[in-house]
Amino acid sequence: MPDIAVMTDTVSYMPEEVANKYNITQVPTHIIIDGETYAENQLDLGEFYQKMPKWREENNLPSTSSPSPDDFVRAFRKLSKDHQSIVYVGYSKHLGMAVQSALLAKGLVKDELAKTRIKILDAKTSLGAQMMITLEAARAANAGSDLKTVLKVANEMITRMNSILLLDDLYFLAKGGRIHKARPWADSKVSNTTILKIGASTEGKHTPVTRCRTKGEALNALFDLIQGQHVDSKLHVAINHADALAEAEQLKEKALSQFQCEEVFISNIGPLVTIHTGLGTRAFSWWAE
C-alpha cells in the first residue's frame, strides 16, 4: 500500500472499479428529499432520474449539500491509520463547499493527526475532469512517488484539464445559482444546446462558449474546438451523462474516430449534479499528452 492516500468526492463520478483499482476514497455529497438526507451514492440512480420531471413540474427539486467537515474528519482518521500523507482533490469551490469543508476538517484534526500530512486541492472543475486529475495523482502515488511529486502531478493536471458541458436547458443551473457567466443565456426564450466550459482557465466557473441550434451542431462545435487545440496529441477522455447513454456513446464513437484516445471513460452523472444541470446533460472532459 502506498504511503500517500489519494481521495476525492462523489462529484467526480469515478467508476467504482477504477476507485477500487487505485485505492481512491470518495467522500459522498448529500441529497435531501422530503426532509430526509441521503449520501448521493446510496440512491437508486434510475429511480432518481425517473422522478426528476415530476419534481421540476411541482417546483420541488431535492436540495443538496457538500460533504460536511465531519465527513472529512472521519475519512482523514481512517486513511491516516495506513498512510503518512493524504491528498484530497475536490470539485471547484465555485460549485459547492467541499473544499472549504475539507480545509476546516484539516484544522480540526491538526493536533490529533499531527504526523499525517494532509493536502487539499481545488480541481477547479468537476465530473470526469475531476476524476482524471484524481486518477493521475493516484497513479503517481501507487507508483511510489513522494508527496511533492504527487502534488506536482495533480497541480499540472488541473492546469491541463479541459471540460465542456452540453446543456439543452439552463433552467436547473440558473435555479441552483451555479450559472456564473452564462446567466444572460438562461433568460433566453430560444431553445438551444448551450456549450459551457469550466476549468483552471475559467477559475472554476461555468463560462459560455457558444449556443447551437441542434445537438448535431453542438457536437461539431465541440470537436472543432478539440481539433483546434490538439491536432496530433494522444487524448485521455471522460464522458459523463445524466440519463443520456446513447448520446454519451455517440460522443465516444466520434472521439475514437477523430482522435488518438489512450483511454475513454463513460459514467453517469449522479444525483447532486443532475439536480443542478438537469436530465440529458452531457459532459466531455479531456487532457492531452
The CATH number of whichever domain residue 273 belongs to comes to: 3.30.1180.10
Question: Which three cell numbers, joined as nine digits, stand for 79?
Answer: 486513511
Return the pLDDT at 151: 98
**pLDDT exceeds cutoff 60 at 60:** yes
- Residue span of the structural domain in which 124 resides: 4-31+65-159
pTM of the shown model: 0.93
- The separation between CA 34 and the C-alpha centre of its own chain, rounded to angstroms, equals 26
Do 220 and 121 share a structural domain?
no
**pLDDT exceeds cutoff 60 at 183:** no
**pLDDT exceeds cutoff 60 at 185:** no
Q: Quick one: average pLDDT of 209-231?
A: 83
Q: Quick one: average pLDDT of 220-236?
A: 84
CA 65 – CA 107 distance, rounded (Å)? 21
- Counting the structural domains of the chain, the total is 2
Helix 147-160 crosses helix 127-142 at what angle (to 10 degrees)?
A: 150
Give me the residues paired with residue 64 across strands: 31
Q: Tell me the percentage of the chain whose pLDDT exceeds 90.
A: 78
Do 186 and 113 share a structural domain?
no
Helix ranges restricted to H, 212-267? 215-229, 245-258
Tens digits of residue pLDDT in 95-151:
999 999 999 999 999 999 999 999 999 999 999 999 999 999 999 999 999 999 999
Say if 59 falls within a structural domain. no
Do 264 and 195 share a structural domain?
yes
With beta carbons less than 8 A apart as the criterion, state whether 172 and 196 touch: no
Q: Quick one: average pLDDT of 169-181?
A: 61
Q: Quick one: average pLDDT of 236-258?
A: 96
With beta carbons less than 8 A apart as the criterion, state whether 262 and 288 touch: no
Q: Quick one: average pLDDT of 171-186?
A: 56
Do 123 and 12 share a structural domain?
yes
